[in-house]
Amino acid sequence: MKKKLTLGLVGFGCVGQGLYRVLTETQGLETEIRKICIKHPEKSRSLPTAYFTTQREELLGDPEIDVIVELIDDADTAWEIVQQALQRGKAVVTANKKMVATHLDELRVLETKYGRPVLYEGAVCGSIPIIRNLEEYYDNDRINRLEGIVNGSTNYILTKVSEEGKSYAEALGEAQVNGFAESDPTLDVEGYDPTFKLSILLTHAFGLRVRPEELIRVGIHRLSAADLSFAKANHLRIRLVAGAYRHGDKLIALVAPRFVPDTHALYSVRNEFNAVSVEGLFAEEQLFVGKGAGGNPTGSAVLSDISALRYDYRYEYRKTTQESRPEYSLDATVEVVVSCAPSVRISPEDFVRFKGGERNRETHRLQGEVTLSTLADWSRRDDISIILAPGAIPKPVEVPKQEELAAA
């Protein structure tokens, strides 16, 4: 039943090297790295030169290579390589969230067409085996809520600013020095990276295909001192949450920072850790916590995929064929806390349900329910900071019944 696998690696950065370490230091896995395709042959490497090539054809054309393990940053090149690998009858393991989130439909078509599986546990939440658990464990439970801290660098920054009193700039710098944040942190702090991961999770948790750009996205880059003091005064922490909420046949999903009280599952998830909280109808509340990034943690997620290939594992995408799957909806409201300079134009009338405000010389803070479309507009503004209110659950806008319409 177990097969010996021969691997071709594309990319030998942090995750590739982590995988190599895990592979060579763990026992019992009859798996061999045949060749590693790299972009920069001039860099000094920890392995003999014979392992490396700059020509991907050396991997794709090698009939003895069963699996292409794609671990490069560039999503477009990754997508090219993955297509070619499948066309050549090779299984694929990838950790490229952007590529998977962007091309999931096509990936599934190619998987079926060429009969080879594509696995990508390492693409979402590093070491946390969340996709496999959604696929295998939750295939028969109805998930009503999923909330995740899916980006380690922003969680590191939020931990430092809200628990250690550092400034946003200081915390970001520290995250970069420690290797948790990219030199261009836009993808993380503006919430793009979490939309890739949430997009993938929605498919496995709810059977829905929602493209990353269809998701409402609020970053943490406008975080203000006023937000931090509000959090402190109310014993709250701020977490960047990729959330999905099912109400009947509607599914609302968004990426946004939120204030969390100490009763919230994600409150105690700190620094570079990731976490996913899942509420199933029957399993009730479950929490998965683990390192969201880094060579070894992500390497071990990649290795678990490779290991599963030896048993011919593939994702069944069972939720996508269930009749009861919900419909993605943007027609919803959610309670937010907004803060801005007192001069900024924002008024109680912009809220669907205004709850209250507070104004001092530096800051104007308003709290209340807004529509997701208002939220989307505001998220593009430079002059306001938006954080979901403690306990906020996005809710569908009720469609008035016929009688009510007639009466109105």
Q: Is 137 or 354 the residue whose CB approaches a copy of itself more closely?
A: 137
Instruction: Kindly identify the residues of this chain, within the stretch 316-345, that bind a copy of itself according to CB under 8 A.
Output: 318, 321-324
Closer residue to a copy of itself in complex, CB, 249/404: 249
Strand pairing class (273-280; 284-291): antiparallel
Q: Which residues of 104-124 are buried (b: 16+ CB within 10 A; e: fewer)?
A: beebbebbeebebbbbbbbbb
Report the candidate in 335, 320, 325, 339 with the shortest Cα–Cα distance to residue 385.
339
Of 197, 232, 250, 355, the active-site residue reads 197
- The mark string for 265-304 relative to a copy of itself (x by CB under 8 A, - otherwise) is x-xx-----------xxxxxxxxxxxx--x-xx-xxx-xx
Report if residue 25 touches a copy of itself, rule: CB under 8 A. yes
197 is catalytic: yes
Task: Choose one: 110-118, 176-184, 210-218, 263-271; the region binding a copy of itself (CB under 8 A).
Answer: 263-271
Candidate list 14, 75, 225, 308; residue touching a copy of itself; CB under 8 A: 308
Closest separation in Å from C-beta 125 to a copy of itself: 10
**Least spacing, CB of residue 385 vs a copy of itself, in Å:** 28
Give the nearest distance from C-beta 54 to a copy of itself in angstroms: 28
| Ranges within 117-156 binding a copy of itself (CB under 8 A) | 127-129, 132-133, 136-137, 139-142
**Residue 4 found at the interface with a copy of itself (CB under 8 A):** no
Number of residues that bind a copy of itself (CB under 8 A): 49
Give the binding range for a copy of itself (CB under 8 A) out of 19-27, 42-50, 104-112, 215-223: 19-27
> Nearest distance from residue 247's CB to a copy of itself, in Å?
17
Q: Enumerate binding residues for a copy of itself (CB under 8 A).
A: 18, 21-22, 25-29, 127-129, 132-133, 136-137, 139-142, 265, 267-268, 280-291, 294, 296-297, 299-301, 303-304, 307-308, 318, 321-324
